[in-house]
Structure formats: structure tokens, C-alpha cells
Amino acid sequence: MLTLILRRLGTSILTILLASFFVFFAVQALPGDVAQQILGQNATPEALAQTRERLGLDTPVWIRYWEWLLGAVQGDFGVSLVSGEPVGPTLLLHFRNTLLIAIPAVLISVTLSLLLGVVAGLMRDKWADHSISVLSLIAMSIPEFMVAALLVLAFAIGIPVFPAVALDGPSASIPDLIPNIWLPVVVLSLAMAAYIIRMTRTSTIDVMASEFVTTAKLKGLSRKRIVFRHALPTALLPTLNVVAIDIAWLLGGVVVVENVFNYPGMGALMLDAVFNRDLPTIQAIAVLSALIYVICNLAADLAAMALDPRQRGRGQRARKKPAEDAPTQGAPA
């Protein structure tokens, strides 16, 4: 098992490096002159040349990538072309704001969807299964921006319980942002839960129909022990990847939802950076999003290894095999 973990870690590091490579060169290949964009159309050739030299645009792209990578490892993603401020602190500030809506959304959606998915799978073709399946299909079919608009109409305009949009900036304190997170949390929780419910239901049905569950029933084990001790850990394995992708999707910034509620998170920062062609900010967000996806998938793989007895058994067999192959001490040659 240790070999598999080290292999996953190596693959993850390589994936992050390749992602940073492609992101950097893709951004550098975009049409337009960065110096011209900063100084405007009326800039003199001398001013353009000085700006290119200051930004390092006159050096080969390989050298620029290496310098940028060394800085990114230390948290230095360069300077914003719009504000003139370092990208790193701005990125961390918006990432903190995204965490405020991502953490409650993950806790609510994962807990609710696993519970409902398992209930639907165990009560297949009964009224509970049909009700949960219909509700999850409805949640999957309605776009997020429409759910957000309906919630604003209902709970911000009709019954003014929550604010319709966030009026605070990215640097607002956490207590000031708390009232603004609940409507986005509900929208994101519904979007995540719908897919996880469907996956959990399907996985639970498949596991309950498998041979080892049938064998456990023939041995006389109680249904409670079969479900919680044997079936559920196996049924959760396919769901882990879906949960990991959803978490990475949230932490990478949900552009549509954050734009509807004017919430100052990663999605809003990405939208502003693309609109203003702020290349260093775009590079930093893209690399951070890739890093989040890799970490979430790595965590899902490690959790699957811990839950899957076949993975644990593979590691134990790998340790036993050298001992079995070694000659017994004192045996005749």
C-alpha cells in the first residue's frame, strides 16, 4: 500500500507541474501586447520597451517560466496588471471567501446526499426511493442561476430574511460576510447533493446485489451488520471520486453563483481577471485550481485505499511475499 501511495504522490506532483507548464505557455500565447495593454495605445516605443524589460517580456519564455515557477513555489505569483498589487495576497483573500461558502455546502450536501442515497438504495422501488429519485432529478435539471434567482425572489425580496447580494468587498471580515453566504450555500448544496445521491443510490444497489452480501445473508448475519459493516464501506468507494470532484469544483470558484450574488470569491476574481486580461492573476487561479483538483483526487484515492480491503490485502501480500520466497534458515542447499 505504501508503494501505491508514493506512486500517487509522484503522479500528483507531475500533474501539477504539467498543469503549470501548459497554463503558463497558454497564457503567454494569447494575442496582444501586455506592455501595450498596460500603457495604452498612445504609449511611446521607449516606454513600451522599458515596460517589457521591467516585466521580463524580452527574455525567452523558458526562462520566464522557470522564474515564475520558482516564485510560485514560494507563493509569489507576480504582480497584477490591473491593480499593481501582488497576486498572492489577493488570491488568498478571495480563496478565504470561497472557503466560507464551500465548507458549509460540502458538509450539508455530503451528509444529506449520502443519507438519502443509501436510503434510496436500500428501499429500491419503494415510495422513499421514488420520492428521493424524483427530487434529485429535479435538482439536477434546474440550472444553478435559476435556483439562485428563485431563492433571491423568495428569501431576499418576498421574505427579506437574507441579503440579495453581497455588498462587502473581498477584504471584509468574516462576521460581515456570514449573512451573505447562506443563499449561495443552499444553491451549491442542492447542485452537489443531486449528483451524489444518484451515485450513492446506484452504488448501494449494486453492492447489496453482490455475492459477498448474499454470502453474509446465508451465514445468518443481521441486516444491520451487513449494511453498516460490509456493504456501506464498499458502496462509498465510487462516491468518493464524485465528492472529490465536487469539492474541487467549489474551491476552484463557482463563477455563476458568485456572480449572481455578487460574492467576492475565487469565481468573481477569475471573471474580473479574464475581463481585464490580468494575465498573472489568470495564471495563479488556473494553477491553484489544478492544485486543488489534484489534492482532492489524491485524498479520494487514499480514502478508497483505506476503505477497500483489496488494496489493504495487496499491501499485506506484498510484505509477505519476500518472506515466503526467502529460503528457510538452516535448510539444505
pLDDT tens digit sequence for 114-172: 999 999 988 888 999 899 999 999 988 888 889 999 999 999 888 888 888 887 788 88
Going through 21-152 in order, the beta strands assigned E by DSSP cover none
324 belongs to a structural domain: no
In a shared domain, residues 255 and 294: yes
DSSP state of 253: -
- Give the pLDDT band (50/70/90) at residue 305: confident
79 belongs to a structural domain: no
Q: Give the list of residues 6+ apart from residue 302 with CB closer than 8 angstroms, or none.
A: 5, 8
193 belongs to a structural domain: yes
Question: d(Cα 21, Cα 114) in Å, to the nearest integer?
Answer: 37
In a shared domain, residues 36 and 144: no
**Number of structural domains in the chain:** 2
In a shared domain, residues 137 and 265: yes
81 belongs to a structural domain: no
- Give the pLDDT band (50/70/90) at residue 40: low
So what's the pLDDT on residue 1?
Answer: 66
By the 8 A CB rule, do 15 and 294 touch? yes
Cα 220 from chain centroid (whole Å): 42
So what's the pLDDT on residue 46?
Answer: 78
258 belongs to a structural domain: yes
Over residues 237-264, the mean pLDDT reads: 85
* Domain of residue 169, CATH code: 1.10.3720.10
Question: Which DSSP string do the residues of 276-312 spell out, in sequence order?
Answer: TT-HHHHHHHHHHHHHHHHHHHHHHHHHHHHH-HHHH
Has residue 333 got a pLDDT over 60? no
Provide the whole-model pTM.
Answer: 0.79
- Give the pLDDT band (50/70/90) at residue 108: very high
Mean pLDDT taken over the chain: 82
80 belongs to a structural domain: no
So what's the pLDDT on residue 332?
Answer: 42
Question: d(Cα 77, Cα 24) in Å, to the nearest integer?
Answer: 11
145 belongs to a structural domain: yes
In a shared domain, residues 154 and 255: yes
In a shared domain, residues 234 and 101: yes
In a shared domain, residues 94 and 69: no
Where in the sequence is the domain holding 264, given as residue range(s)?
Answer: 88-309
- Top-confidence range, 18-27, 110-119, 297-306: 110-119
- What are the pLDDT digits (tens) for 159-193? 888 888 887 788 888 888 898 899 999 999 998 99
Helix (H) or strand (E) holding 3: helix 2-28
In a shared domain, residues 50 and 158: no
Longest Cα separation, the chain = 92
In a shared domain, residues 43 and 113: no
In a shared domain, residues 132 and 200: yes
In a shared domain, residues 60 and 127: no
